[in-house]
Each structure stands twice: as structure tokens, then as C-alpha cells.
A = this chain, B = another copy of it.
């Protein structure tokens, strides 16, 4: 018999009907003999409702109090799910983060798990009870309630799976798996049977918002097989696991893109050591996160320096650049928020040369100008004009064979 951890997000427990559906699913799995630990989020909308109440009383609510407040959301769900299970004749025990003792540090609102007690859970499982745990929350050594930050229920599930040495951690959500790219942009996008932790990290951080990044890191670190699948639709979903030999021939796994960025360009900067720090220092001081950074040396001993930030920070970043333009002796500062970042992701890049060249050729053929390039071991990202997004994704999706099921990718 297997030990599985299931996680159901807010949309999966949004109301009584959804909770009944989730309970049915759990009962079916329980009847196969599997041991089950269920992690649930707050009913969708609940966390926002509570935060609205909070901000009506304090301009910037103290994270300590905010954790006491929002952690009630998952506590409601664990109680309701236990009721639905018992109504179906299945014995269940609920635990808040504090009750199970998911011990965290005291960074309220974004706490990190330091320890999980498993003894009680082991006892419950021996008695064939279904364990229902409030996701997203923990408790400090001194007994204060903490939360792991938005989406932290995924992290709870993976951490419990690691602590209990579970066979698989299943993240039930409103999509039925991880896709080669966003199906709204490329209708031929295909659900992947498997991806590696590293690929998933690259795809998640690039905008495929299926899983919280931290939970994937965690799963990779403790080698917990993760499966993403739909609450509302049958299917095997996508398994996220460590790389194995069967996967090595895959060229690329997917195409991610991100429309939330803007490009900042500083032209004619005198090319001398320390110039990057002089430019990016004030930007970091303003709490602006920088993503891609590219620097080219021009012929006249000057350089063009370019980087991307979140669109919301574009105006602020441009102000900063303009204020340091003269000091640096640069020619001009500009920004452009009509850009998009498109990335090819795949562990196959490690063993295959020429993927970047092929990507650039494909884009050139469609007259798509590349404005920035950045590469890593398993990813190639380019920044292009936003208007070319759909064309670029579809072109690459076909060129790299993602339209059709690859033989080497079967589960």
C-alpha cells in the first residue's frame, strides 16, 4: 500500500459542492488501501476577504496578527472536509499547522519550515484514518501562528511528503497538468507526462503558474515525486521528478513566456570597470527586482547596458536611470514595456548543441527581431516585441517538435 499526500487548492474547495467532490475522490483512493494525508487551502476568496477586513483596520497590518487572521481560512476547510469524509463513513482527523507542529522560523507571512513532527500522523495512519492538514501555516517554537506565504499550501504538502517519506505528492488544481506552453497562445500545446524538477523551476519562474516555486525546490531537494493533476477531470496529470535515463533524449520540454516585464536601456555608457554596479546599485536600493541583464561593448569604448524589471517598476526604474545618466556620462536612458520574454526550457539542451542557433534561425525566418538574449544550462530566453509573442511561440512549438507526442517522453 502506498502513502500519498494530496493537496487541494482554494478553487478545489471553493464551496460545499467542491468539498463533496474532493471527499468522493479521497474516499475512492482510501478504499484502494492507500494511506492518505490531505493538505487543503482556504476556500477561494476567503483569504482576500480576511485581508480586506485587516486593511480596513490597520494601514499596514502587522504580519504576526495577519497570520493569526488568515490561518483561520484553512482551519475552516479542514473541519469541513473531515465532516464530508465522516458523512461518507471514512474516519478522519484534522490538524492545524500548530497542532501537527509544523515548526517554522518566526518570519511571519513568509515563514520557513524547520521541523515537522510525524508521530501523531503515523499513529493516525496505523488506525487507517485519513489525515487532513491545514496548508500554508505553521507555528514558531514559542507557539505563535505563522504562514508560509501565498501558495504555501503546496510547500506544506511537499514538506509533509518528505517528512513522511511518502511515495508521491499530488497537487490537485484547476488545470490537468503542465503543458508544453500556454494553450491559450498555442492551441496545439500538449500536456507533458513528465518533467524534471529543474525544468519545472524554469517554467514556473517564467510564468507557468501551476506550482509555487518553493514547493518545487523543496520536492527536488528531498526527491519527492510531485504530480500535478486536475480535481475536476480524470487523468494522470504531469509527474515532476528527478531526471532519469528515459528522459535524456528530450530536446526541450516546453516554451515559457512572461508578459510582465519591461526593458530598460542605457546607451553610450563609458565602458569601465564597476559600471554595472553603479547602474544596478540604485535600482536594487529602490527595491526593484531585476531579471535579465545584458551588456554589449560598442566600438567607441562605450557600452549599451540593458535589463528587465517588472512592468509595475518600469517608471520608477527609468527615473533612477535618468537621474544617474549624467553622473555616468551615458548618452541616454530609455524604457520599453511592449516587450515579452520567451524561453525554451529542457534538460536535453545539456547534451545537444545548436539549440540556440536553431531558435534564432526560426525567429529570424519570421522576421522577429531579438532584443536581448540570456542563456542557462537548461534554458534559452530571448526578449522580443510583444506583438510577436504568439507567432514566436507557435513557430518554436512546431520547430522543436512539441506539437506531437515524442516517443521518449512517455511516462
Give me the interface of A with B, judged by CB distance under 8 Å. 16, 19-20, 23, 50, 53-54, 56-59, 61-62, 65-66, 68-69, 71-72, 75-76, 78-80, 82-84, 86-87, 94, 96, 98-99, 143-145
Cβ–Cβ contact A86 & B59, under 8 A:
no
In the complex, are the beta carbons of B16 and A53 less than 8 A apart? yes
> A263 → chain B, closest Cβ, in Å?
40
- Give the distance to chain B from A108, nearest Cβ to Cβ, in Å: 12
Q: Is the CB of B76 within 8 A of A57?
A: no
Residues in B whose Cβ lies below 8 Å from that of A68: 75, 78-79, 82, 94, 96
Q: For residue A83, which residues in chain B have a CB less than 8 angstroms away from its CB?
A: 54, 57-58, 61-62, 65-66, 69
Additional pairs, 13, CB under 8 Å, beyond known A59-B87, A99-B145: A16-B53, A16-B57, A53-B80, A54-B79, A57-B83, A68-B75, A68-B79, A69-B76, A69-B79, A69-B83, A72-B72, A99-B143, A99-B144
Nearest-CB residue, chain B, relative to A73: B72
Taking CB atoms, residues of chain B closer than 8 Å to A54 are: 79-80, 83
Interface majority SS (helix, strand, loop, mixed), chain A: helix
User: Which of chain B's residues have a CB closer than 8 A to the CB of A98?
Assistant: 98-99
A57–B54 alpha-carbon span in the complex (Å): 29
Sample (14) of A-B pairs whose CB atoms are under 8 Å apart = A16-B57, A23-B57, A57-B83, A58-B84, A59-B87, A65-B79, A65-B82, A65-B86, A66-B79, A68-B94, A68-B96, A69-B75, A69-B83, A98-B98
Task: Please tell me how many copies of the chain the complex holds.
Answer: 2
Bound Cα distance A79, B68 (Å): 6
- Residues of B close to A143: CB separation below 8 A: 99
Q: How far is the CA of A39 from the CA of B78 in the complex (A)?
A: 25
Give every chain B residue within 8 A of A19 (Cβ-Cβ): 57
Task: Give the most central of A20, A23, A53, A66: most B CB within 10 Å.
Answer: A53
Residue of B nearest to A52 (CB): B16
In order of increasing CB-CB distance, the 7 nearest A-B pairs are: A69-B79, A72-B72, A58-B83, A68-B79, A58-B87, A16-B56, A57-B84
Contacts of A16 in B (CB 8 A): 53, 56-57
CA distance A78 to B145 in the complex (A): 13
Query: Which of chain B's residues have a CB closer than 8 A to the CB of A145?
Result: 99
Report the minimum CB–CB distance from A131 to chain B (whole Å): 13
CB distance from A259 to the nearest CB of B (A): 35
For A65, give its contact among B23, B66, B94 (CB under 8 Å).
B94
A102 CB, nearest partner CB in chain B, Å? 14
Closest to A84 in B: B57
**Shortest Cβ distance from A208 into chain B, in angstroms?**
33
Known A86-B58, A143-B99: A76·B72 in contact at CB below 8 Å: yes
